[in-house]
Amino acid sequence: MSETALTARGLNKSFGSLIVAADVELTLPAGVRYALIGPNGAGKTTLINLITGMLQPDAGRIFLGPADITALPPYQRVRLGLTRTYQINSLFPHLTALEAVTLAVCERRRVAQTWWRQLTAYRHEIDEAYDILAALMLNSACHRVTRELPYGQQRLLEIALALATKPKVLLLDEPAAGVPRDESKDLFAAIAGLSRDITVLFIEHDMDLVFRFASRVIVMVGGRVLVEGTPAEIASDPRVRAVYLGKGRAP
């Protein structure tokens, strides 16, 4: 029996009369690849914001493994192993790729507060950062300033930053967004190549990618979880079809 990596119970959040999360329940067993799909405005990114602590729920609890993290600030959740990436790149424009990932590694290793030792003395951290970049084919660009990188490589850097935090649970918000079709396959191959120790939940609109890389799919509509199942189950579920295609149309 595999342990549960991430649990959310009864998450609720509304802005005035706009309900963005209604009684959301989530249980992610360790090591599984989950896809979170749903129409725009369904509350998928909001759910990630709630789980990572960027947004405070009106009600509900969140557990990372056995630990209740509902009251923890975002950076402490990252330290416990819960990391996310952003749909729109949120990078450090004037830092080189290597510097950015090294920073994430240093933060994880709790050495980022030392102001009296030179960065060059931290060979392990720099090596680790370089290895992460190499695993994502970014090592040749590691000395280029982030904002000069092509978009696809920036997207990969986005993931590199997340990996530097050694996550147990990785939440990817549309990782292939804005990336051309042929490149997104490489991107997802990199994600698929991630260790089975990491539980991955990714938001995605491209059903091809969902079918290829996810072992389970969650469908959200209007702030609620509509249904959950294997990709095949979801594809044949009439409710899902109705949500995506509208009730009056034959598939």
Partner 1 sequence: MTIQTIAGPHDYLRAQLRWRWSEIAFWLATLLPFVLAPNYLVLASQVASTALFALSLDLILGFCGIISLGHAAYFGVGAYTAGLLSTWGWGEPLSGLLLAGLAAGFFGYLTSFIIARFRHLALIMITLGLGLLLQEAANSASFITGGFDGLQGIHTWPIFAKFDFDLYGYTAYSYALAVLFLIFLLARRIIHSPFGLALRGIRENAQRMPAIGAPLHSHIRTIYTIAATIAGIAGAVLAQTTETVSLEALGFQRSADVLVMLILGGTGRLYGGLIGAAVYMVARDQFSGLNPQYWYFWIGLLLIGVVMFLPNGILGGLSLLTRRARAAP
Of 31-39, 63-71, 103-111, 179-187, which segment contacts partner 1 by CB under 8 A? 103-111
Output the CA–CA distances (angstroms, integers) from residue 61 to 6, 48, 107, in the order listed. 11, 14, 27
Residue 15, interface with partner 1 (CB under 8 A)? no
> Residues 36, 125, 136, 156: which binds partner 1 (CB under 8 A)?
125
Paired strand residues for 28:
6
CA gap 91, 10 in Å, rounded? 32
Q: Which two tokens stand for residue 31?
A: 């090591």
Of 61-69, 106-114, 211-219, 224-232, which segment contacts partner 1 by CB under 8 A? 106-114
The distance of closest approach from Cβ of residue 158 to partner 1 in the complex, given in angstroms and rounded to an integer, is 10
The distance of closest approach from Cβ of residue 106 to partner 1 in the complex, given in angstroms and rounded to an integer, is 4
Residue 120, interface with partner 1 (CB under 8 A)? yes
| Cβ-Cβ contacts under 8 Å for 160 (sequence gap 6 or more) | 97, 100, 101, 132, 133, 136, 138
Residue 65, interface with partner 1 (CB under 8 A)? no
The H helix count followed by the E strand count for the chain is: 9, 10
**Minimum CB distance to partner 1 smaller for 52 or for 184:** 52
Strands 82-84 and 169-173: parallel
Q: Which residues bind partner 1 (CB under 8 A)?
A: 52, 73-75, 78-79, 83-84, 86, 90-95, 98-100, 102-104, 106-108, 111-120, 122-123, 125-127, 129-130, 139-140, 142-143, 161, 164-165
